[in-house]
């Protein structure tokens, strides 16, 4: 009796990556992206007050959001790489430390980690608000990226490591020259998904008085009491940014798949 393969269900907290049908005129991605972009353009024209003032007030927050996100993903990438290597290490103590780090960090909500670094550790060491946000998000997402790197490394056929060892390379040389270059190529799409998820989670740093997009929106709304209009515009901007980045990730994934053929 033939074995029946069970369907594989993948769930991610990143943005929905456009499929091959995203090039269709009325694809879900096109409707969502261009619909949100059209609203951002049309609302200030149709209703100048308060939408024009909102648009003029938010650019600093958008730049700060990207600043925090890029710095966080940069450090998270290296933390994740080190963690992934630790998770496959044959040295028991290193493997155990990396595993404990992953289990502990993934078991604590990001918001709690931000509070802990800024407020709890602030009792002993004063950490600036932006640095606290970057550290918390880098440490948090480093654990998730560590699992991505671990899975990527383990997906490389073991025969390649054995062949490298047979050619006289040490394990570290084989890992550095043979395994890691292939791994990084494999994990770029899921890393891109985490980048998008981190961009959305960067809204949490507004609680530390970091003037990101959400914080600037809250400041404007608290002054003018235009809560509906302000948060509508903030949501639309987040949507456009995440959909744009999700499209870039999809393009990157398609090119990587073509390169493997």
DSSP 113-137: HHHIIIIIGGGTS---HHHHHHHHH
Asked whether residue 205 is assigned to any structural domain, the reply reads yes
pLDDT (0 to 100) of residue 208: 82
Model pLDDT for residues 163-192, shown as the tens digit of each residue = 887 888 888 888 888 888 888 888 888 888
Residue 16 DSSP label: P
Asked whether residue 108 is assigned to any structural domain, the reply reads yes
Asked whether residue 234 is assigned to any structural domain, the reply reads yes
Q: 253 is in which domain, residue-wise?
A: 32-260
Asked whether residue 113 is assigned to any structural domain, the reply reads yes
Asked whether residue 189 is assigned to any structural domain, the reply reads yes
- Sorted by sequence, the CB contacts under 8 Å of residue 205 that are 6+ apart come out as 68, 114, 129, 130, 133, 137, 212, 215
Does 198 score more than 50 pLDDT? yes
Report the pLDDT averaged over residues 82-104.
93
The token pair at 140 is 């948090």
Cβ 24 vs Cβ 253: under 8 Å: no
Cβ 209 vs Cβ 129: under 8 Å: yes
Report the pLDDT averaged over residues 87-105.
93
Average confidence score pLDDT of the chain:
85
Q: What's the 3-state SS for 38-81? A: HHHHHHHHHCHHHHHHHHHHCHHHHHHHHHHHHHHHHHHHHHHH
Asked whether residue 73 is assigned to any structural domain, the reply reads yes
pLDDT (0 to 100) of residue 24: 58
* CATH at 69: 1.10.3720.10
Asked whether residue 7 is assigned to any structural domain, the reply reads no
pLDDT (0 to 100) of residue 184: 82
Cβ 247 vs Cβ 22: under 8 Å: yes
Q: Is 242 exposed, middle or buried (0-12, 13-18, 19+ CB in 10 A)?
A: buried
Asked whether residue 76 is assigned to any structural domain, the reply reads yes
Cβ 113 vs Cβ 141: under 8 Å: no
Complete DSSP assignment for 166-202: HTT--HHHHIIIIIHHHHHHHHHHHHHHHHHHHHHHG
pLDDT (0 to 100) of residue 160: 82
Count the domains in the chain. 1
């Amino acid at each position: 009796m033939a074995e029946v393969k069970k369907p594989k269900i993948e769930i991610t907290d990143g943005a929905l990556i456009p499929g091959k049908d995203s090039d269709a005129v009325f694809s879900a991605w096109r409707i969502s992206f261009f619909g949100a972009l059209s609203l951002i353009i049309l609302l200030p024209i149709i209703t100048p007050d308060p939408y024009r003032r909102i648009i003029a007030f938010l650019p600093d927050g958008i730049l700060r959001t990207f600043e925090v996100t890029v710095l966080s993903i940069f450090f998270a990438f290296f933390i994740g790489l080190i963690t992934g290597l630790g998770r496959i290490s044959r040295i028991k103590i290193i493997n155990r430390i990396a595993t404990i780090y992953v289990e502990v960090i993934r078991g604590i909500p990001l918001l709690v980690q931000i509070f802990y670094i800024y407020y709890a550790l602030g009792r002993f060491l004063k950490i600036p608000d932006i640095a606290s946000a970057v550290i918390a998000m880098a440490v948090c997402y480093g654990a998730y990226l560590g699992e991505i790197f671990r899975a990527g490394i383990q997906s490389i056929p073991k025969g390649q490591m054995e062949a490298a060892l047979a050619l006289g390379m040490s394990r570290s040389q084989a890992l550095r020259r043979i395994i890691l270059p292939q791994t990084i190529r494999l994990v770029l799409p899921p890393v891109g998904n985490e980048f998008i998820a981190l961009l959305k989670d960067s809204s949490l740093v507004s609680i530390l008085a970091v003037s990101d997009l959400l914080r600037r929106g809250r400041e404007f709304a608290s002054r003018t009491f235009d809560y509906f209009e302000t948060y509508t515009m903030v949501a639309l901007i987040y949507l456009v940014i995440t959909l744009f980045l999700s499209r870039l990730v999809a393009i990157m994934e398609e090119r990587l798949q073509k390169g493997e053929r």
